[in-house]
Amino acid sequence: MRNNYVPQENASSHSLSVHTTKKIEKGKGEMYGLKNLAVIIAFLSVGKFIIDNNREFGFLMSLPLQTLSLLECSCFLLAILMSFVRSLFGFYIEARKLGHLYICLNLGVFEAFIAYLNLNYIRHIYSSGWSMILNVVYTAKLISFHLVVKELRRDRKINIEEELSIRHFLYFLVVPTLCFQLQFPMRSGRNIKGMVLKTIQLLVGFLLFVLVMDQYAIPSIYRIVNFEDLTTVIENIINLSISTIILFLIFFYTVFYCFLETVADITLFYDSCFYQEWWNASSAREFWALWNRPVYLWFKRHVYAPMVGRGISKERAGVIVFAMSGLIHEYVVSISIKKFTGWFLITMLLQVPLIHVTESFRRKFPSLGNFFFWGAFCVIGQPSVILLYYRSLYLKECHM
């Protein structure tokens, strides 16, 4: 049979136009398939890690908060109540113009009482930790309230006494923001289905967090502290790195996506930008600006911007912000575990040189900046901090 195919002169197999690199679809570049393969390999690796751990240790997870006593629960609720009462006193002080001395006394006396309750009566690390976190949140809200009212009175743009209302202040206490203002943007309605779904995800996420901590992280830490040989230590450091990455992702999802989004829906709070694409960060500076927006905006609004406005260099203001953040983290953790170590303070201060290192690395190797960030932050940084704190607790128990 005769072949009637005649090659066309312009149908070249190799030309400048044929092999020009192009994106066929938006979001699908040259490495799209390899990224999917990397995700599959990651899931298989984590699955193998879980199976090996269960084969060696069995099921270790205990029900969270099952050892709480009635006294401890009562003190936990009392600590939260004290944070709320302190906020009400703060509003009364501003409404009556009682001055800075009363503001400092209100903040200091209640803070000492809450710390005393946590140190002496709230022994469980989860309940004490959340009690201190809520305490710091309400303290930040109250400080923001005092500073904003002071600015409004100084500028005299409005009659602040007429604008202040207890109803708006109470609304500010429950909405998911740390920065006070006289008006907040509000949603037109609630997504009931989304609220129920996120609440279920929140509960499941909390149980998953406890499971990963009890089942995978703590056994790895224990074997590192009681090391027998170098190979075992390296193996468990890798296991701990995997565990801490999973714990961090669970914490982020449950707190920022489930909890804060649900609170925003309940309170009709419109601005639900609690995070941005921190997972694409290629430097430590980008990460701290993206991953926890409420805290970032609070420090920028009430600490960083005022210092820069008074002539302090941006570099020095950044160091002060990280030092304050480190002190707050150290305060919360030290009260929760009933022991001061200073590791969180040191870690936050180390963020300043880390920012310079990651920024320099990003400029020299733009495509590898995100890899370097993940390696420095989640593979090395977080496991090291957890290991140091656990070792401190372990040594504390050994000497008791």
Closest by CA to 96, choosing from 151, 172, 166, 154, is 166
Q: For residue 19, indicate whether it is catalytic.
A: no
Closest by CA to 297, choosing from 132, 182, 180, 183, is 180
| Dist. CA 346–CA 35, nearest whole Å | 35
For 91-124, letters b (16+ CB in 10 Å) and e give bebbeeeeeeebbeebbeebbeebbebbeebbbb
- Exactly one of 124, 146, 168, 329 is catalytic; which is it? 329
| Dist. CA 38–CA 190, nearest whole Å | 38
The encoded tokens of residue 34 equal: 């390899």
Radius of gyration in angstroms for the set of CA atoms belonging to the chain, rounded to a whole number: 26
| Dist. CA 243–CA 222, nearest whole Å | 13
* 238 to 51, 227, 241, 244, 369: CA distances (angstroms): 16, 14, 5, 10, 22
Beta bridge partners of 186: 269
At 276, give phi and psi (nearest 5°): -125, -170
* Residues acting as catalytic residues: 329
